[in-house]
Amino acid sequence: MEYRTLGSSDLKVSALCLGTMTFGEQNSETDAHAQLDYAVSRGVNFIDTAEMYPVPPRAETVHRTEQYLGSWLKRQAREKLIVATKIAGPARGFAWIRNGPRINRAQINAALDGSLRRLQTDYVDLYQIHWPDRYVPMFGATSYDASREHETTSIAEQLEALAERVKAGKIRHIGLSNETPWGVMEFLRCAEQSGLARIVSIQNAYHLLNRTFESGLAEVCHHANVGLLAYSPLAFGLLSGKYLDDPAAPGRITLFPGFGQRYHKPNVPAAAGEYARIAREAGLTPAIMALAFARTRRFTSSVILGATTLAQLKENLDSTEITLSAEVLAQIDEVHRRFPNPAP
């Protein structure tokens, strides 16, 4: 397993990170612990979760993922692991998270304390804002609409509250998720202006069907030394090829049809089919090719992968042994030119 420095932090994270958002919905606590044990045995030292998980989010299951991770974490050598979690943002109808989540001082403190309690740890290595407190187009929306702006907690206030918990030793580093170039720059500007903790990472979707990170965000993060944690590298399983072989195959797309709207768009099946063809002609599985692609981009610090079975997890981790040839990369770029970002 390769280990990389996460942005400007002192964290050395495995190039593949174990995502956990199926724990508590598609995976039992026993399943979760088996995945964690196996991932660590393969060199993974980086685990990502969120107070909102599992997905799809429901009042009946909220916080289960952190609880399952916590019951495992208490038996581990904590200092050898890098644990990341996230605070939920507003405007998605989750009234059952803190009576409506926001990113202000009081809610940051409540959310972090809850996560630490469930994780059964005294600190988190990386604490991330799951999505902005302000309005931004996300989760399939692509056009900014200024008329949708609403009252929001200032980024300066958010940083001040997070910095207090960093100073108290409850957070080692902070990061963002589902952010925009303007958001990254504003967090960096406020941190520099006020001498506060700066962000070290951004967790955004990045995969063969969504390479939008490569434009504005790649430039910003390069110059600011902010590492990408690439999530959904298999695009809800579409890049594994399983739905090409069996459209009714079990997975989030079929189990929760209303949850993956960003993938129900024109050109997604055609592009996914072309990427699967390239992989198979190169003697690779579609999943391994997709994961190897995301892992080897210059701006990627770690790729967050998830699985519902140990067999899937093994295949995903096997992708660390693969470097794509120049010919395969050229074919991938040719498909990208024909079907640019069909699932942003």
For residue 181, which amino acid is it? P
| Residue 74 neighbours by CB distance under 10 Å | 11
Q: What are 130's two structure tokens?
A: 């799951």
Rg of the chain taking only CA atoms, in angstroms: 19
Q: How far apart are CA 58 and CA 74, in angstroms?
A: 26
* Residue closest to 113 by CA, chosen among 79, 87, 149, 140: 87
The DSSP letter of residue 196 is P
* Residue closest to 43 by CA, chosen among 233, 311, 291, 320: 320
Beta strands 199-205; 171-177: pairing state: parallel
Residue 165's contacts (CB-CB under 8 Å, 6 or more residues apart) are 108, 109, 112, 127, 171
The DSSP letter of residue 10 is S
Element at 159 (helix H, strand E):
helix 155-167
Q: Are 17 and 44 in contact (CB under 8 A)?
A: yes
Q: Are 302 and 206 in contact (CB under 8 A)?
A: no
Q: How far apart are CA 111 and CA 88, in angstroms?
A: 8
HEC profile for 96-150? CCCCCCCCCHHHHHHHHHHHHHHHCCCCEEEEEECCCCCCCCCCCCCCCCHHHCC
Report the catalytic residues.
53
Coil, strand or helix at 20: coil
Total number of residues shown for the chain? 344
